[in-house]
Chains A and B, each alone.
Chain A
Amino acid sequence: MRSLLLGALLALSCGGHVTVDSTTLTVGRGGDAILLDPARVNDGDSSEVCEQIFEHLVRYKPGTNEVEPALATTWEVADQGKSWTFHLRRGVRFHDGTPFDADAVVFSFDRQRDYQHPYHEPDFTYWDSNYRIIQRIEKLDDYTVRILIERPYAPFLAYLAMFPVSIVSPRAVRHWEHQFSRHPVGTGPFRFVEWVPGDRITLAANPDYWDGGPPKIGHLVFHLIPGERERLVALESGAVDVAYNLAPKDLGYVRLHPDLRVHKIAASNVAFLAMNMLHPPFDDVRVRRAVNHAINKSLIVKLLYQGLAVPAIGPLPPTMWGYDPTLPRFDYDPEKARALLREARYDPRVRPRFYVMSTPRPYVQAPERVSRVIARNLHDVGMDVELVVQPMQAHLDTTAAGEHDLCIRGWVGDNGDPDNFLYTLLDRDSAFSQRATNVSFYRNAEVHGLLTWAQETSDRTERIGLYKKAQRIIALDAPWVPLAHSEVAVVARAGVRGFWIDPSSMVYYRSASRGPH
């Protein structure tokens, strides 16, 4: 009794102190960042933090692959798509007070492009793989820059919405030099405050943010909690407001919990079974269609992906423009598969070699189990395969060289452009040499014409038409069995609103808010 009274008095006297600021939003993640220099970043945990601190000339509209203005307000394309002129947003400042202008943009690009640049770093890897097409970037006046690229390339704009070409504060880079990656300074909605490696990264709202004023949350904390069970417990107790990568089996529990919400988005990826069209019998479209009819995708998606995927009907993920839900599809129908194989006079003594990786991938968590289900499905229609299971690198090398008859491969989109899927995975240009990314070795001239044409056209409507046509031809030629697009699930407390998950599986917090617990 006395202690109760004392407790109440204590509660009264301590009422003013709150250990966590009520506008702090805490995120529980399984991995810590490695570097916070967007040009050097190569992992999702780092790039997600960078995306809160930095911005690029353009960005994706929330949760889509559509490009919209960011640090550039308008742009023009000239010289048949080889010259891109960007007009920059005025009145923006970096978190260190440096004004954002054309010099900052040229600096941010040139330190990556120019090997002689005083602030060049050897590990600007994304530049070499994605931005080599840029020949030059020039300042036309304080708020105008021009980028010249080698050849007309419509997906270029989508590449400019990616984190490697974030605009960095030149003053901060000059000051911190190599250590900039631990003291990032950008123009984004949050500014960097502190990084305790192995524990937490703290960001604070940028009070001068140009897009609709400062974010509603005052602080954003990325808290490292390696165990998925620990993340769930922290979320339940309110120690964190958002948690990533919970175990799929726990999602059933989360859905029943009134204080928690599951937010899902189909990631920008695809897993597929490729048939090598250079190897008989897969040069015969009837055999390829038979394989399509033989595979029970619903079982694979619901059981092996544990519900965190949507069945694929083609190469493009549903969140991407150009996606066509009306594509011809081959439903699970073992009878039809058997009939097609009979018609193609399939010889059941042939044992096609079916290559699969042993390593879990973002687009397929359990590749071996998936391959065993597929092998079983094929066995049921009279096709026995020989499984070849290898570690990822060996799998990539051998399938790129075309050793396989069948293989499971996947693709994680680099940017929001359909070209990145269709041209890379299904154009005949990608089907030669030892480094094929078109591992079906599918070589359709019409598809090639459509895809290359679409690369040189910047009209969106026209490109959608071209891609839909190409997808339709591909669907009927059936070089693949499209399997699944995996889904990203983020679990948040019920009061947390306004954040969104990008198809690249990064979460954006600039309009997030946090209700009472």
Chain B
Amino acid sequence: MARTRPWSWRNLSLRSKLGLGLGSASILSIVIGAGTAMILILSGLADASRREAMRSAKTALNLVLRQAQSQQSEAGELASDGVLADLLVTSPAAIENYLTSQQERFGSGLIEVADTRGRIVARRLGLDPARARQVAAGDHSPAVERALEYERRLTLTQASGQLAVRASAPVLDETWKLRGAVVFTLPLDAEFADVIKGALSVDVIFYAGDVATASTFSTPDGRRLPGRPVPPAVAESVHRGLTLTDQGPVEGREYTFAYVPLQDLEGRRIGMLAIATSRDTLLAAQRQAKWFLLLAAAVAAVLAAAFAIALARRIAGPVRRLHEGALAVARGHLEHRIPVETGDEIGELAQAFGVMTRALKENQDRLAARIREMVTLHEIGRAVSSVLALDDVLAKVTSQVAGILQARTCALLLEGPGGGLGLRAAYGPISSAQALTALAIRAGRHSLRVEAIESDGDLGTQAREAGITGAFLAVPLELKDRSLGALAVTRPDPFSDGDERLVATIADQAATAFENARLYGEVTAFSEDLERKVHERTRELVEANSALERALRELRETQAQLVHSERMAGLGVLVAGVAHEINSPAAAIKGSVDALGDGVARLMARARELGQLSLPSDARVRFFRLLEALGPRFAQPRIEPPALVRRQARELALRLEGLGVASPDVPARTLVELGVAEAAYELATLGGGSGLSPLVGYLEEYAYLQRNLASMKTAIHAITRIVGALKSYSHLDQEKVSVCDLHEGIENTLVILHHELKYAISVQRRFGTLPKVPVFVDELNQVWTNIIHNAVQALGGRGEITVETAQEGSEVVVRISDNGPGISPEAQARIFEPFFTTKAKGEGSGLGLVIVKRIVDKHGGHIHVESVPGRTSFIVRLPIEGPKLTAARAVVQSGNPS
């Protein structure tokens, strides 16, 4: 380059850019690849060593726990060998000797022996007495106390900053008598750590809490180290139950540590076990891997740079030639050719460049021709759209076509109503136009261009007869592939391609104009049709309306049937309620009757005992009088806290003992349990020193019988009551008016619905004074049933129902209210409509209140609802003089409903 440009990346030659880019990309990827490999390998090595350390830690933990287990079995063995149990009783002083003599059987730990009071009476200190004392369990320690409660126990413990395994067991003799307890304790100390190191070849550290207490490490001068302080974060995690590894130095060497928690019996973390493996080998491996990778990366980088430079040179040459060619074309040398040297993208680019220059030239020529046509077409378009009426437009088209093409004659043909083509507009002599029409019809529905019509094979004869010579052009008028007609012109000079395109375009416009005119006609016809149809529909609607009225009539009949079945369903509810009410007392009677036979048999047995007592006759009379007097008290079983019963019985027994009664405990207990403790004195005096038991025995059986009888009576009473209510509730002689006390009907209804009410619904009665009113009594009962049943359901089984009655003028008013959630104003308005229901699906068909309203209406009365959240009332008003009766119905005086 001759000119010098300031240095920047943009200004660099393509070759330099490519060289730099390729070089740096490959070197970068080599560096990244090598780095990643290095990190992966190093961390893989570290991981493997951590995993190895953790495996060792777990194995070490297993060794500790296995050792603990063997302590436990040794403790159990010692506790149950019989000798120890004997010695504990006979000569505790000899136990220590015994333990020493059994040295071989039991490992090296501390053994303590406690007596039944939890005092240590003997111990074997093991190999290192000073350390053993440090971890001793001692008098009354938990290990001892639990063993004295027969528990065999194994735990890890921390005593005086020292971890230890502790196993304890109760000492029992062969008669299963408790004689004492043994406790085995094995400190987890340096000695124990050495054992693990011996087995696993790793260093070991024990931590009590997070303080290192013992380890296998020692200083170069042979002094034992307690271990390595643990980082607080590690300690915290391990105490939460995690297993962790970390690394650090001890005595100048690098180690990997693995920690596992140590826990006691209750799962409390009391310390840690750590193992340490040397990191020397690992570090050496890491160093070697690092050097190897660095060297390999450097060599690869040099090779990559050389390759990049060579490649850049090969690419940049052809590109420069391409650049020169482009400059030549830009200067106007469209015939400039660039040699295609290579088969790659650059070669393809050079080829495409050549194609492009050729195409450029052709397009330039075509564009000039097209511009000319566009100008012409624009003129005709403006002419066509400036006139509104169809015929004017068509005339304008023909004259314009003729004008523009300098034609003698121009004819426009359109499809007539009959389907055939006919002349619609023309320019030039009419006879020529008609001749053109005939020719165009023969030409068919295709464009036809002829240079000399008179010598044409098909049309020549006809043209000659009509005196038409020269060039002929016919173009069809088409709209959406539908043929509407044709445009035909003739002139002396032949027509060109451009002329034909022009006429075709004009024909399109003419077709559009024609179609618009046709559409306008259709719209007019359609609106007339619409008017006619509206008339028809109106007539159909009138017919449908009368069909609807018929359906409505049928619906009303169906509704009447439904009302009937709802009454049947109501009867079902009623029967179910009654059955439920009767079932429970019946079961009670069954149970009591079952028990009765046994009770009588036992009473007979007691009576025999009583006979053997040979009481004086006045005493016997007094006893039976007492029984009679106490009788009603037995009807209800007494339920007292057992502790209270026991205390009262004890007190009574003491008093009876004071009276000279032998073994008074059982009779006293019976009397207290029966709740007739105050009769004890009289019974004791009647029976004398030994006669109390038979008397009380008889009394007890008598009481059981009474209790059975009472529960039967209660049950029978319940049944009688429900049957009575049922009788008066449902006078089955329907359709009769009786003069009734409304309160009675309401009460009967409440009895029948008792099973729905009894659990958590309270009923308040605020009854005024009411005269007797003639009513259809059973139907009116349905009214109360329905309203109360609805209230129960609205309450969801819990709440309060209030029934108020009063006389107001010539009416009685019954108001039934509940404190349920209330009925929305929308629902209130519709509540007496058939099938309207606010209950969940399946709870009711929504006919209940319709029937209620009908019955009230039938009485000449009135029902309405008032509801706000928390209080919903149904108010029923009935005329005192009763329903307006037809003469046929009899008035029956109400009788006694029972």
Chain A residues with CB under 8 Å of chain B are: 1, 4-5, 7-9, 11-12, 80, 236, 249-250, 252-253, 255-259, 286, 296, 298-299, 302-303, 306-307, 328, 343, 372-373, 376-377, 379-380, 443, 445-446, 448-450, 452-453, 456-457, 472, 494
Contact = CB atoms under 8 A, between A and B. Distances in A.
A4 B281 contact: yes
Contacts of B41: 5, 8-9, 12
Contacts of B285: 1, 4-5
9 A-B pairs with the lowest CB-CB distances in the bound complex, closest first = A449-B591, A445-B595, A252-B154, A8-B44, A302-B150, A445-B598, A258-B261, A299-B150, A253-B69
B666 interface: yes
A258 B241 contact: yes
Given A1-B285, A373-B176, A303 B170 contact: yes
B281 A1 contact: yes
28 contacts: A1-B284, A1-B288, A4-B45, A5-B41, A5-B285, A11-B47, A80-B583, A236-B62, A253-B68, A253-B154, A255-B267, A256-B155, A256-B263, A256-B264, A258-B241, A258-B261, A286-B666, A296-B176, A299-B178, A302-B152, A376-B175, A379-B175, A445-B594, A448-B594, A448-B595, A453-B591, A472-B642, A494-B241
Tell which of A5, A257, A258 has the most Cβ of chain B within 10 Å.
Answer: A258
B241 A303 contact: no
Contacts of B156: 256
Given A256-B265, A258-B241, A258-B262, A298 B150 contact: yes
Contacts of B579: 80
Interface string B346-373: 0000000000000000000000000000
Contacts of B153: 252
Nearest to A298: B150
Nearest to B588: A453
Interface in B570-621: 579, 583, 587-588, 590-592, 594-595, 598-599
B185 interface: no
A7 to B, nearest CB: 6
Given A11-B48, A80-B583, A303-B152, A328 B642 contact: yes
Dominant SS among interface residues on chain B: helix
Contacts of B178: 299
Contacts of B852: none
A80 B582 CA distance: 12
A259 to B, nearest CB: 8
B665 to A, nearest CB: 7
B805 to A, nearest CB: 35
B663 interface: yes
B40 A12 contact: yes
B149 interface: yes
Tell which of B58, B282, B592 has the most Cβ of chain A within 10 Å.
Answer: B58
Nearest to A472: B642
Given A256-B68, A258-B61, 15 more contacts: A8-B45, A8-B48, A249-B69, A252-B72, A256-B65, A258-B241, A299-B176, A303-B170, A307-B152, A328-B642, A343-B665, A372-B176, A380-B175, A449-B594, A449-B595
Contacts of B150: 298-299, 302-303
Contacts of A377: 176
Interface in B382-436: none
A259 B260 CA distance: 10
A252 B68 CA distance: 9
B164 to A, nearest CB: 12
A21 to B, nearest CB: 20
B73 interface: yes
B151 interface: yes
Given A1-B281, A445-B599, A453-B591, A307 B151 contact: yes
B587 A453 contact: yes
Contacts of B176: 296, 299, 372-373, 376-377
B28 interface: no
A186 to B, nearest CB: 31
Contacts of A449: 591-592, 594-595
Contacts of B760: none
B517 interface: no
Nearest to A12: B44
Given A328-B642, A494-B241, A258 B263 contact: yes
A327 to B, nearest CB: 9
Contacts of A296: 176
B65 A253 contact: yes
Contacts of B68: 252-253, 256
A387 to B, nearest CB: 15
A256 B594 contact: no
B289 interface: yes
Contacts of A80: 579, 583
Tell which of B149, B152, B704 has the most Cβ of chain A within 10 Å.
Answer: B152
Given A448-B595, A449-B595, A258 B260 contact: yes
Nearest to A453: B591
Interface in B447-503: none
Interface string B52-88: 0000001001100110110011000000000000000
Contacts of B172: 303
B268 to A, nearest CB: 11
Contacts of A472: 642
A255 B265 contact: yes
B581 to A, nearest CB: 13
A306 B154 CA distance: 13
A66 B495 CA distance: 102
A340 to B, nearest CB: 9
Contact of B48 (A4, A298, A445): A4
A447 B494 CA distance: 128
Contacts of A456: 587
B241 A452 contact: no
Tell which of B170, B176, B178 has the most Cβ of chain A within 10 Å.
Answer: B176
A225 B526 CA distance: 91
A389 B302 CA distance: 93
Contacts of A9: 41, 44
Contacts of A236: 62
B598 A443 contact: yes
Interface in B146-186: 149-156, 170, 172, 175-176, 178
Nearest to A299: B150
